[in-house]
Structures are given as C-alpha cells and as structure tokens.
Chains A and B, each alone.
Chain A
Amino acid sequence: MTSPSLEDVLRTAAPQVLGAVVRRYGDFDTSEDAVQEALLAAAQQWPVEGVPDNPRAWLIRVASRRRIELLRNEEARRRREALPPDPIPSVRGDDELTLLLLCCHPALPPVSQVALTLRAVGGLTTAEIARALLVPESTVGQRISRAKKKIRGTGFVMPSPSELPDRLIAVRQVLYLIFNEGYTASSGSSLHRVELSTEAIRLTRQLHGLLPGDGEVAGLLALMLLTDARRPARTRADGALVPLAAQDRSLWNRAAVDEGVEIITAALRDTALGPFQLQAAIAAVHDEAAHAADTDWAQILELYRLLNAVAPGPMVTLNRVVALSEVDGPWVGLRALEQAAGDPALANHHRVAAVRAHLLERAGDLAAARDEYLRAARLTLSLPERRYLESRAARLR
C-alpha cells in the first residue's frame, strides 16, 4: 500500500470540506474562496510540518476560520449578528451528495452543470476545465460565475424526497456527459480530455459509495468502466478510429472489465432495472467476448428490446437494427432500417447512412455500399468517423 499523494488527499477532501463549510455558513461563493485558501495553506504547510492526523478536520477548521474572516469583512459593512462559535469539524457523507445535487440544479443549463461540478466537486481549476473542454478559460469562468449567481440563495439542503429522483437523473446525466467529453477525445489535445473520463469515473465511484442501493448509479459506473476499458484499442497510433469489431481485445483493460461486470451483475440482481444498467449489460456482453465473432448478439438484441421498452430513442432503434442484422442477416436488418429511418429524428442522420452502408456491404451490394459510406462521411460531425467512413468507401472502389 503506497500512501496517497498530497494532491490526492487534497482533491478527495476538497468537496467534503466545501460541503461542510457551505452547510454551516451558506453562500457558496465565499465558502469556496475560503476552502481554496485552506487548500493553498495545506499545500504550503504540510510538506514542511507533516500531514495532520485528521487532514479533513484541519482543512475544515482553517477554511471555517477564513470563512469567518470573510464574513466579518462583510459584517463590518453591515454590523449584524454575532458569529457562530468556532465550529467542531464534522463531515456528513451527505454533504458531498448535497453539493453534487446543488451543482446539477435544474435552473442551470447542462454546460454550466458540467463546469460547476468539475470545479466544486472535482476540484479542477478553471484552466484545467477549459483545457479539457477545449474552450477559452474566460468562457468557463463565465459559465461558473453565472451558475453561482443563479443558485445563490438556494439553501444547502438535500432536495425533498419527492424532488430527489429527478435531481439524481440530472446528476447521472452530468457525470455521463463529463465521461463522454473525455472518452470521445482521440487526438491532439486529448490528454487533458482523457482526464475527464478518469474524473467522471472517480466522481461516479464516490456517488456509488454514497448511494450503494441506487441501481442506475451502479449501472452508470459499470458502463463507464466497461467502455473505458476499451480505450487502448480504440485508436491507432495515427489517431484513426478502430471500430469495436476490429479492436485488438488483448489491449483491453481486464481489471476494468472485471470490475464493471461485477458491479452490473450485482445491480441487475439487487436493484430496480433502468436504462444505464441495460447499456452496461450490453457493454458487458461485448467485453466478455474473447473475439468479435464470439459476441452473443442474441443476448444483445434482447437487451436492446428491453432498453427500447424502458427508454426508447433513435439511437436505441438504430443499435437494435445492428443487433438484429447480426442475428438474422443483413437483408432483415436493411428492411428494419428502412422502417426506422421513417423517424424524423433519424431522417438524414449520418448513423443511418453508416449502418445502411455496412449492411449493404455485408449483403454484397458494393456499389450502393460505397455511395452510402460517402454520404455518411459527408453528414457526420466527427472527424475520426469521417476518416473511417471515407476509408471504408475507398476499399470498395
């Protein structure tokens, strides 16, 4: 067992300390300033004086003192009530959860929820978030300060039991967004973005620890682990995309696969079923096949049928068509695809063209497949995907 680095200790403690200070004094903004200063003091003093026995209590004490000073400065203008006595440090597990729920407040647009969560709960600096999201630091700064203004005056309390389920949906969605933002990065400035998926997994793991009975949080964590496990095989050295069927599975991260399988298996057995669990189950079926040819497509098709019943959507429809054609052949798939393409959400969608091209190629109509690959390449917004689709078309010339 190596001891965690100072940075790890501070990062883990930051949201707990912020939660404790906000709960006691309110005012997210001032509390955050105070916590930042306490973290700074720790980073300077601990390497010299040693890490205190209870680092978190130390940080809460220093941040509280600083928070009181900041409060006094405000009070000096207003001369109001006496200060609360120097608080006894305590952290309740639900402080972190409350903080996460506050960052995903329904009054905030998703981009702001993401920025605020990374800042307050993840402890990333504005510069780090900006690098990861590929936007200027000033843009991230504005998103965060606007978000703080919007939730000012919102009490630091757990949402009521009737509100909680909806808020948790938002929290899961934000964590999923953060994960995807990092996972889909594939080159260039990708290093900073890859950290986002690691961060999303870390935060989701924490949430799973706080809410072990929430099957959808478990499903989300499993989905992230099972997806992230494929990262080493997803791109070639030149940045080109490798689709699932062509990936070298020996490169997958086995430890992450095993952990993901274990979590989703337990969640499916012990909790109420939900869309994240079904997606994780599908990812698990893929990851359990030693070779693409060994994939249990019948089981995947069944899982997509369930997913379609629980959370229908254009992408579920399309993926179900792919699974169906793996089970019953390309012609059956093509017929199902024409039905699916009637959905306005899928009209002119590049994924429809990509799937159609793939099925036409398997059915042996190479000229039509080539045209569809090129059409899909024109319609996609993803550069690696465009390169991949163009290369598929070129092979059929």
Chain B
Amino acid sequence: MKYLILIQSNERSLAIWDKMTEDEQMAFGQGHLRLSAEMGEAGVLVASEGLADPSLARFVSVRDGDTVVSDGPYAEVKEHLAGFYLIDVAGAKEAHEWAAKVPDAATIGVEVRPVLDMSGWEF
C-alpha cells in the first residue's frame, strides 16, 4: 500500500519557522534528511522531495492546441505544497507511524493520503 505524506507551508508554519534560531532551522532540515535515510534503510521509501519556492511555479495550459506557459494566478495563495514523502508500507497504521516522524508533524502537522492502486475486485 502506497501513502503520500504531504507537507504544507502556510502562515502558521512560516511564523513558527521565523521564530526558530538558525541552529533549530538547521536541525529541522537535517531531521528531514535523516528521516529519508531511515525510510530508505527500512525499505519503505519510494520517493521524497522538497519543492522549490512557489514564485518559481508556472501555470501551463493548452488552448486550441497551443501550449501557454504563464506565471500562475497563485500570488494570493496563502498555503502551498512544500514537500512530500511517498512510502510503500503494509497499511495505514504504519504510514501514520512514519508520518509522526516528519519534523513538521511536531509543528503544524502533516497530511497522509492513501494512493489509489490498480487493483480490482470481484463480486
């Protein structure tokens, strides 16, 4: 079972980040690196990445067959996706245990979503 752990960035998390000392911020970042390594060693990590600043986001749309790339209408957005962990574990319980180890779980919390799979079923 694959699960996606989503880490959001919002006004609350930014306020917490700003209050941290430089050492605390460093430790926070290292916590993410350590967790990725730990997930890797446990054989559960599929992928984990942090996302670049939303100001670098571009909005891509196709109109009449032409691809248009523009600065997104996202300037006003107060919350954006900051990073994610994709893990493959036995079930929800184990996914929640890993999510609790994400440094952000101790600040604003993280979201855990099951990934749809291609399995079928029969009556």
List residues of A whose CB falls within 8 A of some B CB.
109-112, 115, 133-136, 138-140, 142-143, 146, 180, 184-188, 190, 230, 234-235, 241, 243-245, 322, 351, 358, 381-386
In the complex, what residues of A have CB within 8 A of residue B122's CB? 230, 234, 243-244
Alpha-carbon separation in the docked complex, A243 to B115 (Å): 22
Among candidates B45, B88, B89, B117, residue contacting A381 with C-beta atoms closer than 8 Å? B117
- Chain A min CB distance to B46 (Å): 6
Closest Cβ of chain B to A330, distance in Å, is: 14
Question: Known: A109-B90, A110-B90, A136-B46. Is A142-B40 also a contact (CB below 8 A)?
Answer: yes
A193 to chain B: closest residue by CB = B118
Chain B residue at minimal CB-CB distance from A230: B122
Which chain B residue lies CB-closest to A136? Answer: B46
Distance, CA A132 to CA B44, complexed state (A) = 16
In the bound assembly, the distance between CA atoms of A109 and B42 in angstroms comes to 11
Contact of B120 among A115, A138, A235, A322 (CB under 8 A): A235
Q: Mark B89-123, 1 if CB is under 8 A from A, else 0.
A: 11000000000000000000000001111111111
B76 part of interface (Cβ distance < 8 Å): no
User: Chain B interface mostly helix, strand, loop or mixed?
Assistant: loop
Closest to A110 in B: B90
A-B contact count (CB 8 A): 81
Q: Name 7 extra pairs, CB < 8 A, besides A381-B119, A382-B120.
A: A136-B46, A139-B43, A142-B43, A234-B120, A245-B123, A351-B121, A381-B114
Which residues on the B side are within 8 Å of A180 (C-beta)? 119
The answer to whether B118 touches A186, judged by C-beta atoms less than 8 angstroms apart, is yes
Contact of A146 among B41, B88, B115, B117 (CB under 8 A): B41
Q: Contact at B44–A139, with CB atoms within 8 Å? A: yes
Query: Given the complex, which residues of B lie within 8 Å of A351, measured CB to CB?
Result: 121
A235–B122 Cα distance when bound, in Å, is 11
Question: B90 to chain A: which residues have CB within 8 Å?
Answer: 109-111
Contact-size category for B: 20 to 34
A135 touches B46 (CB 8 A): yes
Q: Which residues of B contact A190 (CB under 8 A)?
A: 118
A383-B116 CB under 8 A given contacts A139-B88, A243-B123, A322-B123: yes
- A140 x B43 contact (CB < 8 A): yes
* Chain A positions within 8 Å of B116 at CB level: 381-383, 386
Q: How far is the CA of A112 from the CA of B88 in the complex (A)?
A: 12
Evaluate contact between B88 and A385: CB separation under 8 angstroms: no
Interface string of B1-23 (1 = CB under 8 A from A): 11000000000000000000000
Q: Who on chain A is nearest to B41 by CB?
A: A142
In the bound assembly, the distance between CA atoms of A92 and B109 in angstroms comes to: 56
Q: How far is the CA of A138 from the CA of B40 in the complex (A)?
A: 8
| A and B contact pairs by CB, cutoff 8 A, 5 listed | A146-B41, A190-B118, A381-B114, A381-B117, A381-B119
